[in-house]
Amino acid sequence: MYEFEYRRPASVPEAVEMLRDREGAKALAGGMSLLSAMKLRLASPDVLVDLGRIEGMSGIRLEGAEVRIGAMTRHAQVAASAEVGKAIPALADLAGRIGDRQVRNRGTLGGSLANSDPAACYPAAVLGLDARIETDRRSIAAEAFFIDLFETALQSGELITAVRFPVPRSAAYVKFHQPASRFALVGVFVAVTGSGEVRVAVTGAGPVVFRAASIESALAREFSAAAAGAAAVSAQGLNSDMHGDADYRAHLIPVLAARAVAQILERQG
């Protein structure tokens, strides 16, 4: 790892100040992605601004028809949360499948979203549930947040403070592991929102999380596993690597969507 300077703000405004202060400054949350990249010398920030000691950046609250989760909330907390388990079980389930226990004890919601790793799980839930991302300066709709591979709508020095997840009628997440990293080779989040809209968000398959329009319209016509499974998804623009080419990923999307739908239907009995 290269050398850097370490700062530990006590509040969000102080953190934003520190990040604005220095060009090469970066926020440090759980460090699971950032420190890994720094160890391999793929990232070399001059200053790390550790969000770990800021009061009020983590925590889970049910607010009306929304679950608000602080950016610094660890994956393990979301997975174990009774509120989340009750309101959006699919989200608790998703958090409980990220990485492994040790990773879940450190990694945070905010870090995962800011990182926008193409194979990360949370983006699928955020887009699938049409959540809003709150930052130190504004609130961003999921649709507008994820831009491209490792690229989000965040401005330089802008901090995610929390995410508001509208409680859906029902939802499910199905993850197909990349065999080595255990990230999502493809992950599909299917939600039936409070208003009855069916949303299908796909992670792992493309450069950034996206909605599978063909499956959504098939499910709007008929909400069944068979309908999801029969929808065609184009391989155009999807990722290819040794663990799966674009065709394979395209093929997996409806297969996994069908499983998610089956889970939802099963839960509804």
Partner 1 sequence: MSTKWFGAAIPRRQDARLVRGEGRFLDDIVLPRMAHVAFVRSLHPNAALGAIDAATAMQVPGVLEVVSHADLGEAGRPFLQLLPHHGLASATWSALAPGRVCFAGEAIAAVAAESFAAAQLAAEAVAVEYRTSAPIIDLESAQRPDSPLVHPDIPRNLAMHMVEQCGDVEAALRSAPHRLKERFRITRGGGMPLEPRGVIADYDLNRRELTVWSSTQEPHTVRNTIATMLGLQRHMVRVIAPDTGGGFGTKINVYPEEILVPWLAMRLGRPVKWVETRSEHMLSATQEREQIHDIEVGFDESGRLLALKNVFYHDMGAYAPRGGAVPHNTSAALIGPYRIPNVRSEIAAVYTNTATVSAYRGAGQPQGVFVIERAMDRIAAHLGRDPAEVRRVNTILSDAFPYDTGLTNLLGGAVEYESGDFLGTLDKALELADYAGLRARQVEARKAGRYFGIGIANYVELPGRGPWAGGGVRVEHDGSVPVYTGAPSQGQGHETTMAQICADQLGVSIDRIKVLAGDTALIAHGIGTFASRFGVLGGNAVRLSALEVKEKILRIAGEMLETSVADLEIEDGKVSIVGVPDKSLSFEAVARKALRAAGPDGEEPGLEATRYFKTSNITYSNGTHIATVEVEPATGQVQVLKYFLAHDCGRVINPMIVEGQIMGGIACGIGNALLEEHAYNSEGQLQTGSFMDYAMPRAADMLEIHMVHQETPSTLNPLGIKGVGEAGTIPVPAVICSAIEDALRPLGVKINEAPLPPFRLWKLIRAAAKAA
Partner 2 sequence: MNVPISIKVNGVERQAEVEPRTLLASLLRETLCLTGTHIGCDTAQCGCCTVLVDGDAVKSCTMLAVQADGCSVTTIEGLAQGEELHPVQKSFHDCHALQCGYCTPGFIMSSVELLEKYRDLDEGRVRELLEGNLCRCTGYNNIVQAVLSLAAERGRT
Ligand X SMILES: Cc1cc2nc3c(=O)[nH]c(=O)nc-3n(C[C@H](O)[C@H](O)[C@H](O)COP(=O)(O)OP(=O)(O)OC[C@H]3O[C@@H](n4cnc5c(N)ncnc54)[C@H](O)[C@@H]3O)c2cc1C
Q: Which does 253 bind (CB under 5 to 8 A by kind): ligand X, partner 2, partner 1, none?
A: none
Contact between residue 34 and residue 128 where contact means Cβ atoms under 8 Å apart: no
When binding is defined by CB under 8 A, the residue of 122, 146, 176, 210 that contacts partner 1 is 176
Q: Does 103 bind ligand X (CB under 6 A)?
A: yes
Q: Does 244 bind partner 1 (CB under 8 A)?
A: yes
Q: Which does 189 bind (CB under 5 to 8 A by kind): partner 2, partner 1, ligand X, none?
A: none
Tell me how far apart the alpha carbons of residues 42 and 35 are, in angstroms, rounded to a whole number: 10
Min CB(238)–partner 1 separation in Å: 13
- SS3 of 64, please? coil
Tell me how far apart the alpha carbons of residues 179 and 184 are, in angstroms, rounded to a whole number: 9
Q: Does 140 bind ligand X (CB under 6 A)?
A: no
Q: Which does 102 bind (CB under 5 to 8 A by kind): partner 2, ligand X, partner 1, none?
A: partner 2
Amino acid letter, residue 179: P
User: Distance between the two ends of the chain, CA-based, in angstroms?
Assistant: 53
Q: Does 245 bind partner 1 (CB under 8 A)?
A: yes
Q: How many Cβ atoms sit within 10 Å of the Cβ of residue 14?
A: 14
Bridge pairing between strands 198-203 and 210-211: antiparallel
Contacts with ligand X, residue ranges (CB under 6 A) = 26-34, 36, 51, 71, 98-99, 103, 106-108, 110-112, 114-115, 117, 120-122, 154, 159-160, 182-183
